[in-house]
A and B are shown apart, each in its own frame.
Chain A
Amino acid sequence: MALGARNDAERDRTVDGAASGDNSADRATGTTARGGQSTERGVAGGELVDLGTFVGDPPEHLDPALNSTLDAYQVINLLYDGLTDLDTSDPDNPVVKPLVAESFEANDDATVWTFKIKEGVTFSDGEAVLPSSFVRAWERASDPDFAGDYSYLFNFIKGGEEKLAGDADTLAGVKADDEAMTLTVELAAPYSNFATVAGFQLFFPMPSAVDDLADQTSWENELMIGNGPYKLESPRNDQEIVVVKNDTWAGDVNGEKWEDRLDKIIFKVSADPDTAYNAFEAGEGLTANVPPGRAKEADENHATTQNVKISGTYHFDINMENPAVGGEENVLLRQAISMAIDRDAINEAVYDGIRQTSTGVTPPGIPGFEEGLCKYCGYDEAAAKKAADDWKAAGNSQSAPIKIQFNAGAGHEDVVTIIVDNLKAIGIEAEATPMPTETYFSELAKGACEVCRAGWYADYPTYDNFMYDLFHSDAAGGGNNYSQFRNAEFDKLVDDAKQTVDADEQGELFRQAEDILLNEDVAVIPINWYVGDYVYNPDKVANFPQSGLGLVAWEQIKLKG
């Protein structure tokens, strides 16, 4: 998802929660160890106060049908379990596994998906999770009067487009059989990664309680009922979101139930990352967010997740339709720009050296990822100078400095300054061009990009979430394809890959497509891949697992005795 990029200060929007409910915890035990239960990894239960998830504003939405931020997804992911989930036990090779589903299978061309639902899974109020619970949730989330930012994902499903447009009352492609415990989904077009997408929050199940609501928007302001490892203790409010252990939880993708998990997690809302870090250091919480510029200090004094690779990319798009930098005739110029940039220096100077220098757009943790795809991403001033000179020798010249654009006030100034210096060193004139944040991305979508800063977090861990959503011609001219990159060969490879069921074959096709993007057309300049940004108190917290999607496996956290 594009949101939740804390280090880039791309903060999400504002919101309020409902009035505070009662504060009685049914089984809170406090952080102190209970005698004799101490294990090697830590003690059972306990309470954790987190100061790092909601930094800025309280979450706008907590309803999985409406949320579009990583912040709130942290909590939603605790409250609900979907059809599938990612097993990240081996972070370099994440595997999609059934979760509430017992199994899933697709037909040969990946147009019809059948999910067999596990028997005996219940919501926290005891209601059974049935195939119809998913249909209920999906019909609700695709209701055009209610639909949220991510509702367009229903376009994957047959009849989704009509439903969202208000031309149909139901999703034609979805069938539930509660007797046989099967959920059958017919897609609008072949898509071999649907099982991964089906684990995304938008597709989480809903209990029958939502049917009784007069207004669906009230759900997230009440005591939402879910089927995840935790449940809300009280309706959310602006100061905190409190979740407690859900004893009816069915366990994770590997059947592990984490019986000793924390009894209670309190997500505090703080208004500013620096002062929230102060609160963390003052002992008001056990986990927080590393504020910009304090990465090293946080590593030295506490423990952080800055060694966790997050599936997100920070890059600059080059507008292929801009005569100054785009087109066939400027390939050498684009190669020169890419090779002239000292990505390691950017990492050191701006990010305290914690980020991973990119070797492609698609980040690690995405199935099909391979290191080192990009030929022009290594810093090579001599080669860059030569490419620039060759470009000039071919009769080209600069009529104006190249505009390096970025959304102002979001921490990108320093990166762009280094790039401008790097380009000057090879004889290319460039200028830093800040643009207003409020309209930045919509301006880029309209074609305002020349060389423009962009970033992207995986919504769900698929290669097409990067290649299709950011560079396919479908996403050009108003979508997220700010490069206005249109390449028929690339499109065909991506389209084919999206339909290919075999994982190795699919990965190969996607990498071929990315090769065209990076090395033939040079339409994008990867800079770095994101890393985790949680800091925690190692004296009290035994482990803090954060996945490549940025989600924390809160249920696996143990406190020290």
Chain B
Amino acid sequence: MFSFFVRRLLLIIPTVFFALSFLFALFFVLPGDPATLIAGGADRVPDPGVVERVNERYGLNDPILEQFANYWKRTLQWDLGESFQNRRSVNEILGEKAVNSLRLGIWAILIEIVVGISIGVLSAIRRYSIADKLTTIVTAVASAVPVFVLGFILQYAFAVYPNKHDWPEWMHLRTQGMGPDTWAFFFIPTGETWRHLVLPAVALASVSTALATRMTRGSMLEVLRADFMRTARAKGLNERQVIVGHGLRNAMLPVITLIGVDFGTVIGAAVLTETTFSWPGLGSEIASSVISRDLPVTLGLTLVVVLAYTVINLLVDLSYGWFDPRIRFSKGGKQ
């Protein structure tokens, strides 16, 4: 178990190295000279003197290999540099955005876990019932509707419509930003913040919840037919213990994998949700830094997202052992 853990931790090093090196290389392959873009070249022809000064300031005149080596030297000391655009420290940007992303992500994942798994289980138990069929239809629709369309509809239904029809104030939800941005225990919104959180969290959770529901249902159906379920019933356990203790626990493996991957995604790649609801998170920041060729921001933020992904994956792998005791991690482990 321990050596598995260490091996997996070590694996993070090449993963991070290749991911970021690839991004670094990509930056210089993309069309558009970064210095020109930084000097305002996306909209007009910038002054050549300004471009030259930008090149100078950011060392963009150095050979690419030298820039590459310098980049890794700094990164190893966790010096993520500063933004080309406004010279803010990337660490500072990261601190701000990561927290916002994490809070939104936690709520999306909570929705996915609670709604996805419970509906999936119910759907499997009452297979072919009206509720089951309805679930199938709703999940199909939810996974097919693009997030920005869903976001737009949610905004209209829960913010614009109530405002136009003078619904009481407590029924209005908000469409933009984080509001007062006040939280208890890191992730519980307090004051007016909840009005801002509900819609983006639901929009962000929609697709993954639909997938989690379908996967739970499918996995459950398979497990329900298994021999050990009959054994469990035969030895006199009540239905609840059978379903939750034996059925669900065994059906969870693929669902946990899915949720683990989703957690990485909602934190690092929630670009559409963040854009639709003006939620200042990591995904949209990475996207806009790519467009403006703000290399330090792109690399610094991606580094953290990659780290988060690998760590979450490790945790998911470790959790397999708990869900399915047959899985052992150490080489030649005792069976």
Q: Contacting chain A: which of B171-179, B220-228, B239-247, B311-319?
A: B171-179
Among residues of B, the one whose C-beta sits closest to the C-beta of A456 is: B44
Q: Is the CB of A441 within 8 A of B41?
A: yes
Asked, given contacts A16-B96, A275-B151, whether A438 binds B37 with beta carbons under 8 Å apart, the answer is yes
Q: Is the CB of A3 within 8 A of B278?
A: no
A511–B164 alpha-carbon span in the complex (Å): 50
Q: Contacting chain B: which of A225-233, A277-285, A343-351?
A: A277-285
Q: Is B87 located at the chain interface by the 8 A CB criterion?
A: yes
Q: Is the CB of B176 within 8 A of A275?
A: yes
B33 contacts which chain A residues (CB < 8 A)? 442
Asked, given contacts A18-B88, A19-B92, A268-B176, whether A276 binds B278 with beta carbons under 8 Å apart, the answer is yes
Q: Is the CB of A283 within 8 A of B31?
A: no
Q: Is the CB of A279 within 8 A of B176?
A: yes
A145–B58 alpha-carbon span in the complex (Å): 11
Choose among A18, A57, A278, A441 the residue that contacts B160 (Cβ–Cβ < 8 A). A278
Most buried by B among A3, A238, A269: A238
Among residues of B, the one whose C-beta sits closest to the C-beta of A437 is: B42
Enumerate B89-118 residues with CB–CB distance to A below 8 Å: 92-93, 96
Q: Contacting chain A: which of B17-25, B73-81, B255-263, B269-277?
A: B269-277
A268 contacts which chain B residues (CB < 8 A)? 176-177, 278
B160 contacts which chain A residues (CB < 8 A)? 278, 281-282
Q: Is the CB of A284 within 8 A of B175?
A: yes
Interchain nearest-CB distance for B298 vs A (Å) = 10
Choose among A270, A281, A437 the residue that contacts B163 (Cβ–Cβ < 8 A). A281
How many interface residues does B have (CB within 8 Å)?
59
Asked, given contacts A12-B43, A151-B47, whether A60 binds B163 with beta carbons under 8 Å apart, the answer is no
A441 contacts which chain B residues (CB < 8 A)? 41-45
Interchain nearest-CB distance for B239 vs A (Å) = 46
Asked, given contacts A149-B50, A221-B88, A284-B176, whether A442 binds B45 with beta carbons under 8 Å apart, the answer is yes
Q: Is A303 located at the chain interface by the 8 A CB criterion?
A: no
B42 contacts which chain A residues (CB < 8 A)? 10, 12-13, 437-438, 441
A445–B37 alpha-carbon span in the complex (Å): 14
Binary interface profile of A, 440-478, with partner B (CB < 8 Å = 1, else 0)? 011011000000000000000000000000000000001
Choose among B39, B151, B159, B172 the residue that contacts A149 (Cβ–Cβ < 8 A). B39
Q: Is B14 located at the chain interface by the 8 A CB criterion?
A: no
Q: Is B280 located at the chain interface by the 8 A CB criterion?
A: yes
Among residues of A, the one whose C-beta sits closest to the C-beta of B57 is: A145
A399–B216 alpha-carbon span in the complex (Å): 63
Q: Is B46 located at the chain interface by the 8 A CB criterion?
A: yes
A57–B285 alpha-carbon span in the complex (Å): 9
Choose among B37, B57, B96 the residue that contacts A238 (Cβ–Cβ < 8 A). B96
B96 contacts which chain A residues (CB < 8 A)? 16, 19, 238
A128–B276 alpha-carbon span in the complex (Å): 45
Q: Is the CB of A282 within 8 A of B31?
A: no
Q: Is A144 located at the chain interface by the 8 A CB criterion?
A: yes
B30 contacts which chain A residues (CB < 8 A)? 438
A445 contacts which chain B residues (CB < 8 A)? 45
A254 contacts which chain B residues (CB < 8 A)? none
Q: Is the CB of A438 within 8 A of B83?
A: no
Q: Is B1 located at the chain interface by the 8 A CB criterion?
A: no
Binary interface profile of B, 264-297, with partner A (CB < 8 Å = 1, else 0)? 0000000000111110100011001101101001
Q: Is B53 located at the chain interface by the 8 A CB criterion?
A: yes
Q: Is B168 located at the chain interface by the 8 A CB criterion?
A: no
Q: Is the CB of A442 within 8 A of B36?
A: yes
Among residues of A, the one whose C-beta sits closest to the C-beta of B95 is: A19
B87 contacts which chain A residues (CB < 8 A)? 215, 217
Q: Is the CB of B31 within 8 A of A275?
A: no
Enumerate B184-210 residues with CB–CB distance to A below 8 Å: none
Interchain nearest-CB distance for A300 vs B (Å) = 14
Q: Is the CB of A2 within 8 A of B43?
A: yes
Most buried by B among A16, A145, A445: A16
Q: Is the CB of A271 within 8 A of B163?
A: no
Q: Is B139 located at the chain interface by the 8 A CB criterion?
A: no
B236 contacts which chain A residues (CB < 8 A)? none
Asked, given contacts A221-B88, A270-B176, A442-B36, whether A13 binds B292 with beta carbons under 8 Å apart, the answer is yes
Interchain nearest-CB distance for B73 vs A (Å) = 23
Asked, given contacts A149-B40, A152-B47, A279-B176, whether A438 binds B275 with beta carbons under 8 Å apart, the answer is no
Among residues of B, the one whose C-beta sits closest to the C-beta of A66 is: B86
Q: Is the CB of A13 within 8 A of B85?
A: yes
B162 contacts which chain A residues (CB < 8 A)? 282
Binary interface profile of A, 53-71, with partner B (CB < 8 Å = 1, else 0)? 0000100110000001000
A281 contacts which chain B residues (CB < 8 A)? 160, 163-164
Q: Is B48 located at the chain interface by the 8 A CB criterion?
A: yes
A68–B46 alpha-carbon span in the complex (Å): 11
Asked, given contacts A13-B85, A217-B86, A439-B32, whether A282 binds B155 with beta carbons under 8 Å apart, the answer is yes
Interchain nearest-CB distance for A450 vs B (Å) = 18
A473–B297 alpha-carbon span in the complex (Å): 39
Q: Is A480 located at the chain interface by the 8 A CB criterion?
A: yes
Q: Is the CB of A478 within 8 A of B44?
A: no
Q: Is the CB of B47 within 8 A of A270?
A: no
Asked, given contacts A13-B292, A14-B285, whether A269 binds B86 with beta carbons under 8 Å apart, the answer is no
Most buried by A among B40, B151, B155: B40
Q: Is the CB of B174 within 8 A of A144?
A: no
Most buried by A among B86, B151, B155, B297: B86
Asked, given contacts A239-B177, A284-B175, A439-B31, whether A16 binds B83 with beta carbons under 8 Å apart, the answer is yes
A-B contacts, 27 listed (Cβ < 8 Å)? A1-B44, A3-B44, A60-B85, A147-B53, A149-B50, A220-B86, A221-B86, A221-B88, A239-B181, A239-B280, A275-B155, A276-B176, A278-B152, A278-B175, A279-B159, A279-B174, A281-B160, A282-B155, A282-B172, A282-B175, A436-B31, A438-B291, A439-B31, A442-B41, A442-B45, A478-B48, A480-B44
Give 8 A-B pairs besides A147-B49, A152-B50, A275-B152 with Cβ atoms closer than 8 angstroms. A14-B294, A16-B285, A152-B49, A165-B49, A270-B278, A272-B148, A274-B152, A278-B175
